[in-house]
Structure 1
Amino acid sequence: MKIMTCPVNGPRNISEFAWGGEIKPQPDPATCTDAEWTDHLFLEANTAGVVSEWWLHTPTNTWFVARRNTVTDEVLETMTADTFFSRRSDTLR
């Protein structure tokens, strides 16, 4: 059985989770083209290696971020969205 650790609910069976997509920058909706917006909504980079992704713990409707190696399918870290985005803003300073 594969286990993923929800940052709010703790270790849970992977069947309780739904993948929500890669975390990627959103284009400006006021200036992007329809094609750019469509690409943002429906296309993934499918990077081989470590990526940050949205995940949902479906029984509690809790969204969080997981860093996962797509080559090995190993979940390296899970965190709340506020933790992820505060880390990102710290690295941009």
Structure 2
Amino acid sequence: MLLIDCPYCGPRAEIEFAYGGEAHIVRPAADVSEAEWEAFLYLRDNTKGVLAERWRHSHGCGRFFNALRDTRTDRFLAFYEIGTPRPETGEAA
């Protein structure tokens, strides 16, 4: 079981959280082409290594936050609030 450190509530078991996809994805303007809208909806980096992810503490405070997780080892490197910049971890992105 993973231990996820909610920036608002502290460390909790992974069963309290819901994965929300890749973090820092910016919604395009309303007048984009169909190809740009398709890219926003479906295309993600699928990084092998450190990935910024969005998580929700669904069985706790209910708030969203971001986390850096190494997809090769499933190890979390950092947790941070929505709206704050991605922290530097020294790990390859």
What is the TM-score with the length of structure 2 in the denominator? Answer: 0.78
Higher helix share goes to which structure? Answer: 1
CA distance in 2: counterparts of 1:84 and 1:33, whole angstroms: 28
Q: Cα RMSD between the aligned structures?
A: 2.2
Work out the number of aligned pairs and report it: 87
Give the gaps of 5 or more residues in structure 1. 88-93
Moved more, 44-53 or 22-31: 22-31
Give the gaps of 5 or more residues in structure 2. 88-93
Indicate the residue corresponding to 1:12 in structure 2: 12
CA distance in 2: counterparts of 1:30 and 1:9, whole angstroms: 36
Indicate the residue corresponding to 2:21 in structure 1: 21
After superposition, give the CA deviation of every residue in 1:7-37 in whole Å (9 maximum; x if it has no partner). Answer: 0011111011111111244263244211221
What is the TM-score with the length of structure 1 in the denominator? Answer: 0.78
State the identity %. Answer: 38
Indicate the residue corresponding to 1:90 in structure 2: none
